[in-house]
Amino acid sequence: MEKITDTNPKKGKEKVESKVKPETETETTGVRVIREALEALNTGDVSRVHEFISPEYFNHESQVDPVRSKLRGPEEFIDTVKNLRSAFADLHYEEQETIASGDKVISILNVTGKHVGNFFGIAPPTGHNISYQAVHIHRIGNDGKVVEHKAIRDDLTFMMQLGIVGPASPEYEQLFQAWKGFKQ
């Protein structure tokens, strides 16, 4: 731990232990490669994917699809980018906060776009705009590339915006409006 000086005028100057550890090179590299991945998602440019996605890359999110669950490495990431960008015009991942610790990088993101194409076979194009929050958890390998990805999304808001789910009956409409800003 590093020593810092507390400059609170009521207490006078004193040395206190800092609870903040200096950022490691792995953490710095991790944040950089995650921002490169976000740039690829935002632009659709997958020409440099091999520079930041490991050949061992495993995406937990693709495991629900029997075909995509077999994909690994840059091939899986490229497939994800192409599918998402064809399903959502102007797809954009806006970084709200990114935290790195050891080999993990966690990003809180706001995801926006317009649903204009098939979304992994779940929903045909609706023309609806989407905007939801997601937390993405990445593990960085010894080579400085992403080796693993998991996401925790606000899927209820997302599915409501696509028109896939909604109140079971009109009596629940007010609840949905108050809870998620949902309007039919």
Q: Taking the chain, what is the end-to-end CA distance rounded to the nearest angstrom?
A: 54
Q: What is the pTM of this model?
A: 0.79
Q: Considering the domain 3-8+15-165 in this protein, what is its CATH number? A: 3.10.450.50
Per-residue pLDDT of the chain (184 residues; tens, 9 = 90+): 333 333 344 445 554 444 545 567 767 889 999 999 999 999 999 999 999 999 999 999 888 888 888 989 999 999 999 999 999 989 999 999 999 999 999 999 999 999 999 888 888 899 999 999 999 999 999 999 999 999 999 988 898 888 888 777 788 877 877 776 655 5
Helices (H) and strands (E) in the chain, counts: 4, 7
Q: Please choose, from the candidates 137, 119, 138, 130, the residue with its C-alpha nearest in 3D space to the C-alpha of residue 156.
A: 130
